Structure 1
Amino acid sequence: MKKNFWSKSFILTLVLALFLAVMTAGCSSKTDETASSKEKKENKTTASADEPGWKKDTSPITFDWYVNFSWFTGKWGDDAVSKYVTDKTGVSVNFISPAGNEAEKMNTMIASGQLPDFITLGWWEDAVKKMIEGKLVLPLNELADQYDPYFVKVTDPTKIEWFKQEDGNTYGYPNASSSPKDFEKYKDLKPSNQTFLVRKDMYEAIGSPDMSTPEGFLKALEAVKEKYPTVNGAPLIPFGLNEFTDVGNTSLEGYLQNFLAIPMEKDGKLYDRTKDPEYLRWLKTFRLANEKGLLSKDIFIDKRPQMEEKIAQGRYFAMLYQRSDLAAQEQALYAKDPNSVYIAVDGPKNSKGDEPTLAGDGISGWTVTLISKNVKDKERAIKFLSYLISEEGQKDLYMGKEGLTYDMVNGKPEFKPEVLDLLNKDRAGFDQKYGASFKYWMLMDTNMSLDWAPPTAEPAKQMEDWTKGKTVSFAAFDGISPTGTSPEGIAASKIAQLWGKTLPKLLLAKSDKEFDSMFKDFLKKRDSYGLDKVEKYQQEMYEANKKKLEVGSK
């Protein structure tokens, strides 16, 4: 068998070649790594805290934006404002909203681990904590530090601090939010959204009665039903509310309790408003109204689209409702007959007749917007968010484009006459054509917009003016309820769902005795679900909030 032998010189040559190859590869890797680090460093240093980052890249990109409200049907790109923003920033938006139950849709998306680029939902919703705990959303402060320090300049540090989580990060930014300083500065200018409304012509036809007492409330409903059994051939709905959900009804909770001026705390301890005698007195009043045939079945089953349709038809006589959500319908009624609109009057009061303590904008605002870990472009996302929060973005979304929707008059933007006319007469048409005045409300700053907003016109002015001087800040009580999968979070969720089932049954009870029995059973069950854990958590959070606000107000 013949053997092959390599010469020493060949072996040395081979070893040298391998050595050089390894060295070259190592140097190349180090060079690439250095280049990459240099590029990252340059990217960070070129992003300025004083210059809007979005201006560096205005190439076309489309973000999917989930809005967790089934009633939201806004479409980007069909109106002047969204076209202007896209032309300016390169960003288009594909809005997504749930077709049915919002909580079910959110839970399904969370379970899948796949979320759209942006998510907007109520700050109080359990899904917020679930997304954060599940690491499904990105820390805004980290995104800003890496890609866009301008974010820090345009955001309110008090709000960033307020939404900071235990890990030191902030994941969501609010809309319609007022810090304690904001509230004090603007409280005389900013009304509450909570109103007790009546249809003007019907109310005046029955003598404009006092409806602030249970007796007066019931007599008014009886009188109007007798005088107006139908409205344009359809049955009158004597009293309207927000929709019932699986956790209750906002009209019959915070709204009613605020109208009754029920305190949130007593002597530094949180007060259980649900057990307050004044509150139960009025729930029993609504029970009696149902017994008398004064509560329509519609109010227990209708969702917002059905309610909007019936408001537009003027079928409700009275409503405990948020005035802003009937703006379009109010304008339509006003155009047909100024006397058929809804006006704000004194609603339910406590037995002492105290003035209501209506909620103004709190520091938590209304909704929060988060960025998903699945976002298609982190850098463009945080820069677009910064733009929307900035004064420039706020002005673009509220006023639109100079020369098209507004002109500068004495140094201030003013809607063109034809634009303002449409806004005051046909909100739906205004939204479709122009899309200004916060059609896109996801990050609206309701304080900043006061510098541009035109004077409120009738019929909305009457409702707005009625609430002024009655607003208070409930900021310290924001976000105190536990959420998520902690023991107290699970207990709170079970109690909320129990209340959602109990509340309509209380109104449908056949007698006060049956009401009392149902309510007593509710109290026992919520105790067994772990109410003590929930209350302990709430008290601790309330005290922590007070400290936060003291720091933020300095």
Structure 2
Amino acid sequence: MNKIKSLGILSLSALLMTACGGSNDSQDTAASELPDLGDRYELDENTPAWKLDTKEETTKLTWFIENDGFNDNPWGEDIVTKKIGEDLNIEIEIIPGDEQALNTYVASGQMPDIVSLYDGGKSNISQKAAEWALPLNVLADKYDPYFYEVTSDDTLNWYKLEDGNTYGYASFSNTEEDLKSGAIPSHNAFVVRDDVLAALPNLDFTTPEGFKDAMDQIHEKFPELTPLGFGEMKDHLGALGGTLQDFIGVPWVDENNEYYDRNMDEEYLTWINVLREVHSKGYISDDTFADDYDTVLDKIKNGEYAAMLVAGTHAYQPSFQGLMDSKPEAAYSPVDAFQSDKYDGPAMSQGGLSGYTTTYISKDNTDPIKSIQFFTYMISEDGQIAVNFGTEGESYYEGEDGYYHLTEEYQDWKDSDIAAFKEETRISEIPFFGHDNGNAQDYIDPDDIGWAPAVLRFQEWGKGKLVPKFEVDGIDPEYGTQEARSLVSINDEFTTAIISGVRSDSEEEFDTIISDFKTFRENQGWDNIVEVFNENIQENINKLKD
């Protein structure tokens, strides 16, 4: 089980005093309201309870998934749910739905047995989980202590509510150890064509003057190329926001562990002004601000850009690989860029402790004993192998390399019709208990993950550059509040301001655009939003432990 390294924020004793108040009473009360095990099995902390359970009748549960497009094919008709069902003697009806459907369940007072939300634990319903969900820690203590062997202490602590209980468990919740392990890739990079680097070996993209000079050299040597491009920016800021700030190493909290205004950081705005100068020379095409995803794919595959700043390189890997295959001398390689003497950057970002989805066991659950077994199984190596590979001997085998591989039949199916393969097998299609660096990873061949060689070189550059930013994980105001609505407007205006700033004709015009943006956000109640940020940052800090 993982532990968060000390952040030097709070003492352990202070955290314990804060976290433990009233928690024992709450846990005792919750446990007393649960059914007894009876003679189903005896607890064994060294053995998962699903292997001990003697219940003969198949347990039938309902599972609401907050995604109205999720695959709701009948349970057991695909190799993944068939395997899960056989191991646990369980049958689950999957109920996809949207937020409105979820609200209807809440209002009715009759929740499905299991609930998965795409909210990182930050939605209003997740924050009120004590009203409608069962505490996972209480269920584990009473029915399945092996749960603690497969879960992360850090994730459980992060999701703990004021009563001292943890109600939801997250998928893809990354600890500090995970982020620094090198196993989780960074998906952002500044890349340059290899033939450009070969012809101009002394290019420097790390300083403002060096960057501008590099663009001049590229334009002179390769006039047929657009010197600088980005990933998709249509209707959003793309790489010019947080990604660029991460390259520079802009802080996310200040010395007092309060919100740091990254968007108005002087070093960041200096680099935006550099891009303005580059644009004024025609080195950035205006088309790049309007190109959609498919257009960017085509431009990358054709190698139209000499250099690119890309957020989400994995999303473009078919095109990066296509260029490498067709014109290997022009493939893109990552290089250092956008540095600042003021900061220690780069400080790249990936998902934090809040993770992706959050899954709960409701108080209306028909068999909480089997349900916590389901959680333990799905998080464990057994469950993750079932989810990612199916059944040994039928859909996968263990190779001489020690990794698990799809059988020839299933691999051919996947290669010939990936949509049908996903729909009908559900292999790798149930992400709600998954993890980037978790159980069963030792059995997954890195070559089978699907990263194209063209993108692997970007990820190699990113190793050691991922930095935990847990303090600002999910700090936005609660959905539906005035602050949340105002923040949407401010973020939209910021996108407009930065793109307009890059396209502006002079430094004076650039400064006016930034000044006008500051005035706009002040009129939108920016101070109140910052106050919410700081309250949420403090809550996050209180969750972290030595």
TM-score (norm 2): 0.70
**Alignment partner, residue 518 of structure 2:** 523
**Alignment partner, residue 66 of structure 1:** 66
Q: How does 1:248-259 map to 2 (within 5 A)?
A: 249=237, 251-259=239-247
In the TM superposition, residue 297 of structure 1 has moved relative to its aligned partner by 3.9
Residue 498 in 1 paired to residue 490 in 2?
A: yes
Shifted more, 271-280 versus 50-59: the winner is: 50-59
In the TM superposition, residue 407 of structure 1 has moved relative to its aligned partner by 0.8
In the aligned structure 2, how far is the partner of 1:264 from the partner of 1:112?
A: 38
In the aligned structure 1, how far is the partner of 2:143 from the partner of 2:241?
A: 43
In the aligned structure 2, how far is the partner of 1:44 from the partner of 1:498?
A: 59
**Alignment partner, residue 445 of structure 2:** 454
Deviations 1:414-439 (A, max 9, x none): 43696999999999699759979955
State the Cα RMSD in Å. 4.9
In the TM superposition, residue 51 of structure 1 has moved relative to its aligned partner by 2.8
Q: Is the 8 A contact 2:170 2:358 kept in 1?
A: yes
Q: Is the 8 A contact 1:197 1:318 kept in 2?
A: yes
**Alignment partner, residue 189 of structure 1:** 182
**Alignment partner, residue 482 of structure 1:** 477
In the aligned structure 1, how far is the partner of 2:351 from the partner of 2:537?
A: 18
Amino acid at match of 1:253: G
Q: Is the 8 A contact 2:59 2:367 kept in 1?
A: no
Q: Is the 8 A contact 1:194 1:255 kept in 2?
A: no
Residue 507 in 1 paired to residue 485 in 2?
A: no
In the aligned structure 1, how far is the partner of 2:335 from the partner of 2:412?
A: 27
2:348 to 345, 355, 358: 358
Deviations 1:357-387 (A, max 9, x none): 22355333x3132348598866465543332
**Alignment partner, residue 358 of structure 2:** 369
Deviations 1:513-545 (A, max 9, x none): 343333223323333444334434433443454
**Alignment partner, residue 240 of structure 1:** 231
Residue 261 in 1 paired to residue 249 in 2?
A: yes
In the aligned structure 2, how far is the partner of 1:520 from the partner of 1:436?
A: 52
**Alignment partner, residue 19 of structure 2:** none
Q: Is the 8 A contact 1:399 1:413 kept in 2?
A: no
In the TM superposition, residue 356 of structure 1 has moved relative to its aligned partner by 1.0
In the TM superposition, residue 132 of structure 1 has moved relative to its aligned partner by 3.7
In the aligned structure 2, how far is the partner of 1:466 from the partner of 1:121?
A: 30
Q: Is the 8 A contact 1:192 1:358 kept in 2?
A: no
2:230 counterpart SS class: strand
Residue 430 to residue 140, structure 1, CA distance change in 2 (3 Å): farther
In the TM superposition, residue 261 of structure 1 has moved relative to its aligned partner by 0.9
Deviations 1:162-202 (A, max 9, x none): 1122344434322332334x34xx72433542422436456
Q: Is the 8 A contact 1:118 1:371 kept in 2?
A: yes
2:155 counterpart SS class: helix
In the TM superposition, residue 237 of structure 1 has moved relative to its aligned partner by 8.7
In the aligned structure 2, how far is the partner of 1:136 from the partner of 1:312?
A: 52
Residue 515 to residue 433, structure 1, CA distance change in 2 (3 Å): same
Residue 440 to residue 507, structure 1, CA distance change in 2 (3 Å): same
Q: How does 1:329-478 map to 2 (within 5 A)?
A: 329-331=319-321, 334-336=324-326, 338-339=328-329, 341-350=331-340, 355-359=345-349, 362-364=352-354, 366-371=355-360, 379=368, 382-403=372-393, 404-407=395-398, 409=400, 412-415=402-405, 432=422, 438=428, 440-448=430-438, 449-455=440-446, 458-478=453-473
Q: Is the 8 A contact 1:144 1:150 kept in 2?
A: yes
Q: Is the 8 A contact 1:194 1:322 kept in 2?
A: yes
Q: Count how many residue pairs are aligned between Structure 1 and Structure 2.
A: 485
Q: Is the 8 A contact 1:132 1:171 kept in 2?
A: no
Amino acid at match of 1:479: G
**Alignment partner, residue 21 of structure 2:** none
Residue 157 in 1 paired to residue 153 in 2?
A: yes
In the TM superposition, residue 507 of structure 1 has moved relative to its aligned partner by 0.9
Deviations 1:57-108 (A, max 9, x none): 656767453349x9x99999897656644554555675859xxxxxxx64x4
Residue 278 in 1 paired to residue 267 in 2?
A: yes
1:198 to 184, 191, 194: 191
In the TM superposition, residue 278 of structure 1 has moved relative to its aligned partner by 1.2
1:343 counterpart SS class: strand
In the aligned structure 1, how far is the partner of 2:331 from the partner of 2:79?
A: 30
1:359 counterpart SS class: coil
In the TM superposition, residue 389 of structure 1 has moved relative to its aligned partner by 1.3
In the aligned structure 1, how far is the partner of 2:493 from the partner of 2:191?
A: 28
- Seq. identity, %: 22
TM-score (norm 1): 0.69
Unpaired runs of at least 5, structure 2 = 1-31
2:169 counterpart SS class: strand
